Amino acid sequence: MTAIVNISLKAGVLDSQGKAVHHALDSLHFSNVQDVRVGKQIVLQLDSDDKTQAMADVTKMCEEILANTVIEDYTIELI
């Protein structure tokens, strides 16, 4: 099973990289962009077929190391 973890700064925490990308898009005349958030994606190959167990495991990984929950939110997708 594959777990896709998306990590981004929490709403309310200023995302300077997102802001810089937004400025760059503006200067390229992509004027229809309202907001940009830059995050990171971590893809994990798991040796398990149990979705419930996998979700519990990956959540624990996010809480303990993959994300810093003081400033970041994460989402997990299992495929």
Residues that bind other proteins (CB under 8 A): 9, 13-14, 16-17, 20, 65-66, 68, 70-71
Helix, strand, or coil (residue 46): coil
> Which of residues 37 and 51 has its CB atom nearest to other proteins in the complex?
37
> Which of residues 1 and 19 has its CB atom nearest to other proteins in the complex?
19
| Nearest approach, Cβ of residue 59 and other proteins (Å) | 17
Q: What phi and psi values does residue 25 have, to the nearest 5 degrees?
A: -65, -40
> Which of residues 17 and 48 has its CB atom nearest to other proteins in the complex?
17
Q: In whole angstroms, what is the distance from residue 31 CA to residue 65 CA? A: 37
Residue 29 is classified by DSSP as T
